[in-house]
Amino acid sequence: MPARGGRIDQLSRPRKFAEDIRRISARDPVILAIDDPLGDGVESTLRGLSEGGALNLKIGWMPILHGGLGALSTAREIAGGGTVIADLKIADVPHVSGALARTLLDAGADAVIMHGFLGSDVVSSVLEAAGDGGVLVVAETSNPGASLCYPGCSDAIAAMARELGADGIIAPATRPDRIESLRRAVGDEMVVISPGIGIQGGEAIRAVSAGADMIVVGRSIMRSGSPGVELGRIRKEALDGLSLRRPPGSR
């Protein structure tokens, strides 16, 4: 339960999902962003990719709007043991945000992504509702327009997420210097997941070597003429980034 003032003692909430991500990233640091409905060839592409092993999937608004919460159970089946993250970027008053998180986790997600700019009361409500489920807090987005306001608050959002006991933060692969800064803000016990690889301009090796545990790639793989080849290439780059950052056998 939240402590007085809407805070959660970070020691009272083990970061189980963060531990899972660190284990998964050692073999596959790539999360596939699914932002199109699962029909129209998307599901068949994913099933083809899954023949090469487990997939990590981030399911956005469009698959859920078109397919309902069943899109998450379908994603779990396709993932084949990989992680499934529901990315609706939860951003509402505390009781609504908490209920959204619980619903998504109950539907099959391992973790949810939420915005951090709403403050500690909303983050605390989601953490309480999530229980052992993962909670990732957006500290800064990858789009160019994020420069309007995020440079003034993203480090504070990251520090708040750490204090409250979130599993990790979202930091932009398009700005590796910001990954480095946000990694310093959260330390090593939290994970950093970075979207924006490929079409948005981020590079896998730079993002991971700057401090990201996993990277998020969508269109560059899913709309490629050879998605398996592209996934393999980006996965290798990300693993190379990990080797630059971590001594062999660490984490």
**Residue 56 and residue 85: Cα distance in Å, rounded?**
8
CATH number for the domain that contains residue 58: 3.20.20.70
Residue 1, domain member (yes or no): no
Residue 9, domain member (yes or no): no
Residue 219, domain member (yes or no): yes
Q: Is 29 helix (H, G, I), strand (E, B) or coil?
A: coil
Residue 174 tokens read as 């398009």
Provide the domain count of the chain: 1
pTM to 2 decimals?
Answer: 0.91
Q: Is 86 helix (H, G, I), strand (E, B) or coil?
A: strand
Residue 127, domain member (yes or no): yes
Query: Looking at residue 14, what is its pLDDT?
Result: 73
Residue 11, domain member (yes or no): no
For residue 170, what are the CA distances in angstroms to 50, 137, 207, 211, 224?
Answer: 25, 6, 12, 12, 25
- The closest of 247, 184, 236, 249 to 210, measured between CA atoms, is 184
Residue 10, domain member (yes or no): no
Q: What percent of the chain has pLDDT over 90?
A: 83
Confidence tier at 176 by pLDDT (50, 70, 90) = very high
The residue with tokens 């609504």 is 96
Supply the DSSP string of 16-27, one letter for each residue: HHHHHHHHHHTT
Residue 251, domain member (yes or no): no
Q: Is 16 in the active site?
A: no
**Residue 123 and residue 121: Cα distance in Å, rounded?**
6
Mean pLDDT value across residues 201-222: 96
Name residues whose C-beta falls within 8 Å of residue 157's C-beta, 6 or more positions apart in sequence.
116, 117, 137, 138, 139, 140, 169
Number of Cβ within 10 Å of residue 127's Cβ equals: 26
Mean pLDDT value across residues 189-198: 95
**Annotated catalytic residue: which of 16, 58, 89, 236?**
89
- The closest of 101, 171, 105, 91 to 138, measured between CA atoms, is 171
Q: What is the extent of the structural domain holding 100?
A: 16-245
Q: Is 151 helix (H, G, I), strand (E, B) or coil?
A: helix
Residue pLDDT, tens place only, 36-82: 999 879 999 999 999 999 999 999 999 999 999 999 999 999 999 99
Residue 250, domain member (yes or no): no
**Residue 45 and residue 33: Cα distance in Å, rounded?**
13
